Amino acid sequence: GCFRGSLPMETSCPAEEAESQCNVNFFFTFFLCWQQIQFADDMQEFTKFPTKTGRRSLSRSISQSSTDSYSSAASYTDSSDDEVSPREKQQTNSKGSSNFCVKNIKQAEFGRREIEIAEQDMSALISLRKRAQGEKPLAGAKIVGCTHITAQTAVSGCLLGDPADSKGAPVLPGVAVFAWKGESEDDFWWCIDRCVNVDGWQANMILDDGGDLTHWVYKKYPSVFKKIRGIVEESVTGVHRLYQLSKAGKLCVPAMNVNDSVTKQKFDNLYCCRESILDGLKRTTDVMFGGKQVVVCGYGEVGKGCCAALKALGAIVYVTEIDPICALQACMDGFRVVKLSEVIRQVDVVITCTGNKNVVTREHLDRMKNSCIVCNMGHSNTEIDVTSLRMPELTWERVRSQVDHVIWPDGKRVVLLAEGRLLNLSCSTVPTFVLSITATTQVCTWVGLCRSLGVGLVWKELGTRWDWPLRWHHCQKYHFVWAGVIAGVDPVFWVQKVLGELINE
């Protein structure tokens, strides 16, 4: 699914909403913020090729795919979904607009209540919105985005199968949404194209999660790509694909790496996954973790969160990791680092957290014990080789929503969750408070995007001047006592001062 919107927009197209399904995954109120924080004058066209700056090595977790690769594949269908595709339905919202495509527009009111609940736990984002109401630093921005559709985003779907239909349409005036739960691969690319290929409207900024939208615009609409003011990418997979474009000298627009920002790495990737991994497994399998043997593939921030949660509930956790630093961290945290082939016959649960592809192969799947649970917390559906399971000799049995039994000829069955897609985004919810931190970072990145060329980390200042007040706003929820208060410094004044500098600069 995808979305597009302009500030201001010549043609208003507020879609109202779609059907109720539990799936709250990624940030939301940045769009409420975006409505207020608008972009100023048109930037000069970027013609210089960028250099890679502020880059961290991604080799430990990224596949060496070509710049032509796409991160999404295969379709997800649920027997409970309507048989008629949303693409074939004629729907209009309360304003009479049909410039959207969601599951069921009649569920708008339910989705709006979900959004209101999420907004209550997104304090820094709301504060930033209020601070920016007068200046409107994003005036004139025309943003096309592809990200997870939730009560926090309320705008678009990134991975096939993950959009919560009840959040798909209640969006702001000037935002067209194309997303629904259960998109096929063809639907996915159709939604992206509907947002990019529009008569009389051309995007000048991209918000992406995984690089699919960026590469679609780059390959299919090169003239549009050259006029993009900036790209904001939040996933490790998407960042790697941007680096590939930059290395080839083909990235002639500024791009910001939000994934490696402190606020994304230390909060979203770690704490969000630490809670949602258990939620997803419990909802789908009702498994008890005490005494279970679990192997977690990858010990980055996502892997660390998963391991910590599973260990706390009494699971015996193994870790596979190719990066020596991360492997050493796993050892010092009390986990045994192994090769996947060493433990694949004995483990009860296999979890992938690498961002790579084909981490769990057909050979591994053949050697798994009966009733082994396999799931993915990385990106897309390529970490587990699901394609190899679509063979005539294997039988697929849908036992409940997002849970499939893949049955071998000898009767052995493997429990595959969400068809190898993201477990937390497909099968459970994620903490709104943590995602508020990421959302605030992205809004600030939009405002400050003109400061950087190439694929850069979110500006150095965001780790010092600007990032500090954003973290402080979230800390208020915990009623902590800041040392600056004792020293006679008013933190509220400092926060407002810094946010004002960010917006006005």
Give the tokens for residue 491.
């933190």
C-alpha distances (whole Å) from 487 to each of 203, 465, 493 are 47, 19, 14
At residue 457 the predicted structure's pLDDT band, cuts being 50, 70 and 90, is low
**Helices and strands (DSSP H and E) totals, the chain:** 18, 15
The H or E element containing residue 328 is helix 324-332
Of 369 and 143, more confident: 369
DSSP string of 160-190? TT---GGGSS---TTEEEE--TT--HHHHHH
How confident is the prediction for the chain on average, in pLDDT?
75
Of 143 and 26, more confident: 143
State residue 5's pLDDT score.
64
At residue 450 the predicted structure's pLDDT band, cuts being 50, 70 and 90, is low
State residue 304's pLDDT score.
96
**Bridge partners for 351 per DSSP:** 296, 375
State residue 84's pLDDT score.
80
At residue 36 the predicted structure's pLDDT band, cuts being 50, 70 and 90, is very low
State residue 465's pLDDT score.
46
**Mean pLDDT across 225-254:** 89
State residue 31's pLDDT score.
39
Tell me phi and psi for residue 215, to 5 degrees: -75, -30
Cα–Cα distance between 437 and 457 in angstroms, integer?
A: 16
- Does 269-427 match 2-43+92-228 at the fold level? yes
Of 323 and 158, more confident: 323
At residue 428 the predicted structure's pLDDT band, cuts being 50, 70 and 90, is confident
8 Å CB contact between 467 and 437 = no
At residue 95 the predicted structure's pLDDT band, cuts being 50, 70 and 90, is confident
State residue 413's pLDDT score.
97
Would the pLDDT of 177 be above 90?
Answer: no
- Indicate the range of 116-125, 221-230, 484-493 predicted with least confidence: 484-493
Q: What is the CA radius of gyration of the chain?
A: 22
- Indicate the range of 289-293, 389-393, 432-436 predicted with least confidence: 432-436
Closest by alpha carbon to 17, among 85, 94, 71, 76? 94
Q: Which value, to the nearest 10 degrees, does the dihedral of the CA atoms of residues 22, 24, 25, 28 take? A: 150
State residue 474's pLDDT score.
57
Strands (DSSP E) contained in 251-366 are 255-257, 293-297, 316-320, 336-337, 349-352
At residue 442 the predicted structure's pLDDT band, cuts being 50, 70 and 90, is confident
Would the pLDDT of 22 be above 70?
Answer: no
Give the tokens for residue 2.
């995808």
8 Å CB contact between 427 and 283 = yes
Tell me if the domain spanning 2-43+92-228 has CATH number 3.40.718.10: no
State residue 2's pLDDT score.
72
Please give the single-letter amino acid code of residue 250: K
State residue 94's pLDDT score.
72
Cα–Cα distance between 414 and 9 in angstroms, integer?
A: 50
State residue 492's pLDDT score.
44
Tell me phi and psi for residue 136, to 5 degrees: 50, 65
**Mean pLDDT across 150-178:** 53
Model confidence pLDDT, tens digit, residues 359-417: 999 999 999 999 999 999 987 788 999 999 999 999 999 999 999 999 999 999 999 99
- Residue ranges covered by each domain of the chain: 2-43+92-228, 269-427, 464-505
| Full strand arrangement of the beta sheet holding 205-208 | 175-178, 2-6, 142-146, 205-208, 230-233, 255-257, 455-457
- Indicate the range of 21-35, 264-278, 354-368, 405-419 predicted with least confidence: 21-35
Other C-beta atoms within 10 Å of 78: how many? 14
Give the tokens for residue 424.
């937390």
State residue 458's pLDDT score.
53
- Indicate the range of 337-341, 366-370, 475-479 predicted with least confidence: 475-479
Would the pLDDT of 169 be above 60?
Answer: no
- pLDDT above 90 covers a percentage of the chain that reads 35
| Ranges 37-41, 155-159, 190-194, 347-351, most confident | 347-351
State residue 122's pLDDT score.
81
- Indicate the range of 204-213, 308-317, 392-401, 486-495 predicted with least confidence: 486-495
C-alpha distances (whole Å) from 328 to each of 144, 231, 321, 324, 332 are 41, 34, 9, 6, 6
pTM: 0.69
- pLDDT above 70 covers a percentage of the chain that reads 68
Give the tokens for residue 492.
């509220």
At residue 1 the predicted structure's pLDDT band, cuts being 50, 70 and 90, is low
Would the pLDDT of 3 be above 80?
Answer: no
Angle at 205 between CA 200 and CA 210, to 5 degrees: 120
Domain 269-427 top-level CATH class: alpha beta
Would the pLDDT of 138 be above 90?
Answer: no
